[in-house]
Structure formats: C-alpha cells, structure tokens
Amino acid sequence: MTKTALITGITGQDGAYLAKFLIDKKYEVFGTYRRLSTPNFWRLQYLDIFENVNLIPADLVDAGSMVEAVEISKPDEIYHLAAQSFVGASFEQPIGTGEVTGLGVTRILEAIRQLNPEIKFYQASTSELYGRGHSSSLTENSQFQPASPYSAAKLYGYWLTKLYRKGYNIFACNGILFNHESPLRGLEFVTRKISNAVAKISLGIEKELYLGNLEAKRDWGYAPEYVESMWLMLQQKEPDDYVIATNEAHSVKEFTEKAFDIVGLDWQEYVKVDKRFLRPLDVNFLQGDYSKAKKKLGWAPKTNFDELVKIMVKEDLNRWVRWQSGERFPWDAPNYPSEDKIISRYQRIDR
C-alpha cells in the first residue's frame, strides 16, 4: 500500500532531498511551505520533482496551519525539518528562533497527539546540541551544552520529542545529525559560501572571500545520504535516537584550502578574516560516532570530505559557467546579495 509522508520545510536542503528519496520509494509526498513575497521552490525544481509533490501553506508559528497540514495530508509519517536553521541568525533573532525552532516542535507534536497518535514522527535534532567543550567523538550519550539560541531551542525540541514518545506512546525519533552539505545548501552556511565564492573568484566575477572563525572544526557529510537515515529511523520496530555523522572532523581552513586547490588557486591570496562573521559564542569542535546507526539502521556515510568539497565546488563552477553563457535555470546564487550589504551587530565575546 502507498505510504504518505508530510515533510515540514520541503523547500529547504534536506526537505528537497528527502522528498526525492521518498518519491523514489513510491510515497505520496506532501510538504509545507511558507507564503513569501517571492516563490522559493528552486531546490524542488532543480531536482525535477516539483510536479510530484503536494504543497500545503503553513507556518510553524501558526498552530492552526500545522493542524490543517496534518488533516489535509493524513500522513503515515511526519518528517519535521522546518526550522530557523542558521545558528548565526539565532543570535540576531533569539526570540523568533525559540518560537519557530523550539515551540514549532510542540505545535506539530500536539497536532499528532490530538489528531492521530499513530503517525510516526522524525525530529531534526542536531550536533549543535553538544555545544562547546568537547574534543572527542560524540555519541547519543554525550553531554549537551548548547552554545547558541538555536541549539537551546533545538534542545527543547529534542526533549519534547522524547517526552511525547514516553508520555503518549508516540513513535517519535530524534535524528542527531551532524553537519551535512550539498550543492543545495543555503548560501549563508560556510561550505556553500566558500564553494560559491571559489567558483566566482576562479571566473573573475569576484575578488575576495571574507570568513569568520577559520579554526572551527565540523563533521561534514553529504546531505543526500543523510536523508536516508531519517527514513530508516521511522522503519524500525521501536522509536529511538541516533547520531548520524562521518566520524571525521575538519576545519573551516581545511575546507577553504581544498576548495581553492580544486581551481588551482592559493586560498591565502583571496581569503580575509572579517569579525562580522564571528559569533558571540562558537562551537570549535564537533565529530560524531555513528556506530549505533550503523549497527541498528545499517546506515554509514559513503562520501568522504575530499569528495564532498569537490562535488560542491564543481557544481557551483558549472552553474556559473552555464549562467555566464546565457543559460537560465532555477538557482539561488544570482539573487543573493554580497554579504557586504548585510549589517549585523555580532560582537566577538568569546571563541
């Protein structure tokens, strides 16, 4: 029998890849999107699945719209991916981030509890929960020490998910996903900011790249592989929480160096540190131990760090070449302003 899934945040990186994955598995896919002044469906169009998804307007701050989304789609599974997901922005909008990224989880869990507690629920938890002060690979049992309004809101969502599992017997799972990237990544995240800038610099469209904390290390995986783990969690006999990662950490500096290497340029000639991109607090090390996911879900990463950097730089380069030759296709970069235009009051308090 055909299964039905509801994806909140289907317009985002993971939402688009997950929709494609589930369509390939013959699911009927519904997704929530926000009313914006300009349509934002480029990722679904890029993956050529726009015609195969059902879109429902909803906003996480509006509980009624989430109830409506569940009523309309009547899902077997809900993948809750929508969030204010940019850590940097959470320092500028801490209250909004709490509303959307934190309380939004409760709004959708309440809709499940009241309408149909049989619906299986995936919560997009994050390695940001671990926060600062770690120096070794992290497991499901490592200590959480959030270091941003974003991660504090996600910690609330994590606990609400566990609470609805235990208290109401809802099949609710936390996927504790470490950073995962792709050519569909938002342009403000550091990997895509770098791959896009490297492509532009190598074609002479841009001259410099301004970054913040180059020493931060992240466990970076490839997003299309990570969405499979979300589905696997909801196919198990019992609900549980899982770390999804590569078990390797690399610095922003390493990513930058490798990305410039791919186009034959020396990164040190183009990259400058700008304190506007330093956060009031930053997490300097995140690396995840995915042994439990490997053992119980049969999941393991396939794409390594070098391959990931190459995929991202090559795709952005290819897009700029096509664009410059007059081809037009759904894509975010041409409309993205230079970050010089963005004024924020970040202050470096601590690294």
Report, as residue numbers or ranges, the catalytic residues: 126, 128, 150
Residue 61 near which of ligand NAP, ligand GDD, none (CB within 5-8 Å, type-dependent): ligand NAP
Helix segments in the chain, DSSP class H: 13-24, 42-46, 63-73, 87-92, 94-97, 104-115, 149-168, 190-202, 223-234, 252-262, 291-297, 305-324
213 near ligand GDD, judged by CB under 6 A:
yes
Of 48, 36, 87, 19, which is closest to residue 281 (Cα–Cα)? 87
User: CB-hemisphere CA count at 13 Å for 322?
Assistant: 13
Closer by beta carbon to ligand NAP, 161 or else 202: 161
Helical residues (DSSP H) of 126-215, grouped into ranges: 149-168, 190-202
Collapse the DSSP code of 243 into the 3-class scheme (helix H, G, I; strand E, B; otherwise coil) and give the result.
Answer: strand
Q: Which residue is nearest to ligand NAP (CB)?
A: 12
The reply to whether 241 sits near ligand GDD by the rule CB under 6 A is no
Beta strands at 250-251 and 217-218: parallel, antiparallel or unpaired: antiparallel
| Number of residues binding to ligand GDD, judged by CB under 6 A | 23
Contact partner at residue 186 from ligand NAP, ligand GDD, none, CB < 5 to 8 Å by partner kind: ligand NAP
What lies within 8 Å, CB to CB, of 333 at 6+ separation is 187, 196, 316, 319, 320
Shortest distance, position 23 Cβ to ligand GDD, whole Å: 24
Asked if 88 is part of the footprint of ligand GDD (rule: CB under 6 A), the reply reads: yes
Question: How many contiguous H segments (helices) and E segments (strands) does the chain have?
Answer: 12, 13
Query: How far apart are the C-alpha atoms of 144 and 147, rounded to whole Å?
Result: 10
The only residue of 58, 87, 147, 223 in contact with ligand GDD, by rule CB under 6 A: 87
Distance of closest approach, residue 158 Cβ to ligand GDD, in angstroms? 11
The pair of three-digit structure tokens given for residue 96, joined into one six-digit string: 């909004």
Binds 193: which of ligand NAP, ligand GDD, none (CB < 5-8 Å by kind): ligand GDD
Q: Which is nearer to ligand NAP, 120 or 180 (CB)?
A: 180
> Looking at beta carbons only, is 188 or 315 nearer to ligand GDD?
188
Q: Which does 245 bind (CB under 5 to 8 A by kind): ligand GDD, ligand NAP, none?
A: none
**Comparison of 32 and 106: residue with beta carbon closer to ligand NAP:** 32
What is the closest distance, in whole angstroms, from the C-beta atom of residue 209 to ligand GDD in the complex?
8
Helix (H, G, I), strand (E, B) or coil at 91: helix
Chain residues in the site for ligand NAP (CB under 6 A): 9, 11-15, 32, 34, 36, 40, 59-61, 81-85, 100, 124, 126, 177, 179-180, 186
CA 244, 248, 250, 256 dihedral sign is negative
Question: Beta-carbon neighbour count of residue 291 at 10 Å?
Answer: 14
106 binds, among ligand NAP, ligand GDD, none (CB under 5 to 8 A by kind): none
Binding footprint of ligand GDD on the chain (CB under 6 A): 85, 87-88, 126-128, 178-179, 188-190, 193, 211-213, 216, 218, 252, 277, 279, 282-283, 286
